[in-house]
Amino acid sequence: MVLSNSETNRWPNLAGARAVVEVLQAAVGKAAAHLASSPTEASQTVSYDLASISSAVAAAAELLDHGAAGQAEADLALLYAADVAADLAGRMAGRESLWGVDSSALDSVAGHVAAGRDPAFLDRVAERVLATREAGPRHLSDELQMVRSTFRGFAEKRVLPVADRIHRDDEDIPADIIDGLADMGCFGLSIPAEYGGCAEGGADELLSMVVVTEELSRASLGAAGSLITRPEIIGTAIARGGTEAQKQRWLPEIAAGEKLCGVAVTEPDHGSDVAGIATSAIRDGDDWVLNGVKTWCTFAGRADLLLVLARTDPDRTAGHRGLSLFVVEKPSFAGHEWRVTQEGGGFIEGRAIRTLGYRGMHSFEVRFDGWRVPAEDLIGTDSGLGRGFYLQMQAFANARLQTAARAVGVMQSALELAVDYTQQRSVFGRALADHQLTRAKIARMAALIAACRTFTFAAGRAVTAGDGQLEAAQVKQLSCRAAEWVTREAQQLHGGYGYAEEYSISRLFVDARVLSIFEGADEVLALRVIARQLVKP
């Protein structure tokens, strides 16, 4: 984007942000070119830092376009760009030769960085945030604003009143939440309309999913915000790799919420190393027989359909080329343990894993023992043999985008709680919100949220266009780490009460911690997806 003279004169902070972002982009490009001659595995530390900074710089670039809308947006763009510049300087300090970037790389924009980090400037930004409880104007279309209002109303009426109780007691998600979301079409947001979903094509077809996910996650990550993730993954895999008969059979039921979904990919000895999984599927007549153990299968108890990645080629040297995807049908079970058997003795059993947060969904360890799956339930049938890894990775792009939106929703909730508490709490004779350090924290929270939200929308359009694997990984990595910081700072502002379960901020803090672990662990995304893309010739 090139600013016009009128925009530069009207919003000088936007011009400063643009200058900083251009320097940051040049530094990332130079470092990537320098690392291209060195294998990622041989330079993991710098590659990780470069990937992380690249994600932040990409978000800063997207925030520039948003920043042209007004003074508040321009201020957020400068604040965020300045923070990213300071982060880059810290990561490079003493290691410039490993980056291939000179220590003076940021000197030309030092004045803009100083302006964006000036406590008086942060104070002015915080003043607007404290007045609105918002990170900044959203500039949604009328249609998306209606979607947001509808799902915010549902979340505040149905989810918020029970969110803390579900977390404290590790309860199941109430049926009225699931049924209500099904009635609203929540599970078909990304399923093509021809199969009963809401997606009708177009560059913005994933944005409703992003908006809905944020609003539900604002109320509760574990009791609502994550309900869409598994339909996103399984629906995408079927839509892209399934036969027409499979699409007609499964997608309408998923879209209507008649069949709830779980995903069984990770194994106890194979987490992010998906290509190494050992669960086997052996052909026996008209069936495939599954044997193996999966872990971290979220919502596997309530699910009617499990998406299972299994090794159909017994030659382990085939690696990811020997994997296929199955849709396994099972009864829905409430609670923390379940078991289902077949005639002939095959069974599946699940046991919930106790976790710090992210409760309500329940994450299970699931064992398959001699479980027979009809051959027509292999996604793509015979043509799907060996394509499971690729279909899974394509589906993960949608899931990563959705996870970024979950992170934004958690951050938005934390910001609102921090604003409310600091305005009500008196410390040393004045409101906590009147202290400079408090206002600096709140301003930085707002800038982070605005950057992540804007980047999530941009990544959604990139994924829809078919070339958004990098952007989905970047926005997932950035937003999930940001959620940890925002919820930590919001909890800190609550003081001792932030550590008490009766205050919702404690739930947000432990929920945020899981975001950088699932749907692609932070380090794996950085090294094996983002860094590798950056150093490609």
Residue 166 CA from chain centroid, whole number: 22
Residue 263's identity, in one-letter code, is: V
Tell me which amino acid residue 266 is.
T
Active site residue 502: no
Identify the helix (H) or strand (E) that includes residue 288: strand 287-298
Q: What's the CA gap between 204 and 217, in Å, rounded?
A: 21
The helix or strand, by DSSP H or E, that contains position 314, with its residue range, turns out to be none
| Cα 497 to Cα 391: distance, rounded to the nearest angstrom | 45
Structure tokens at 312: 């159909």
Amino acid letter for position 153: G
The helix (run of H) or strand (run of E) holding residue 505 is helix 504-515
d(CA 519, CA 290): 24
Under DSSP, the state recorded for 519 is: S
- Compute how many other C-beta atoms are within 10 angstroms of the C-beta atom of residue 24: 25
Given 215, 267, 519, 523, the catalytic residue: 519
* Pair of tokens at residue 105: 């790389």
> What letter does residue 495 receive in the DSSP assignment?
G
Which sign does the torsion angle of CA 530, 531, 532, 534 carry? positive
**Please, are residues 220 and 158 in contact by the beta-carbon 8 Å criterion?**
no
CB atoms near residue 244 (< 10 Å): 7
Rounded Cα–Cα distance for residues 495 and 484 (Å): 17
DSSP reduced 3-state for 280? strand
- Environment class of 249 (CB within 10 Å of its CB; exposed 0-12, middle 13-18, buried 19+): middle
The bridge status of strand 261-264 relative to strand 363-374 is unpaired
284, 226, 288: which is closest to 260 by C-alpha?
A: 226
Those residues with Cβ within 8 angstroms of residue 19's Cβ, 6 or more apart along the chain or in another chain: 108, 109, 112
Q: Return the H-helix or E-strand segment holding 248.
A: helix 244-255
Q: Which residues are catalytic?
A: 519
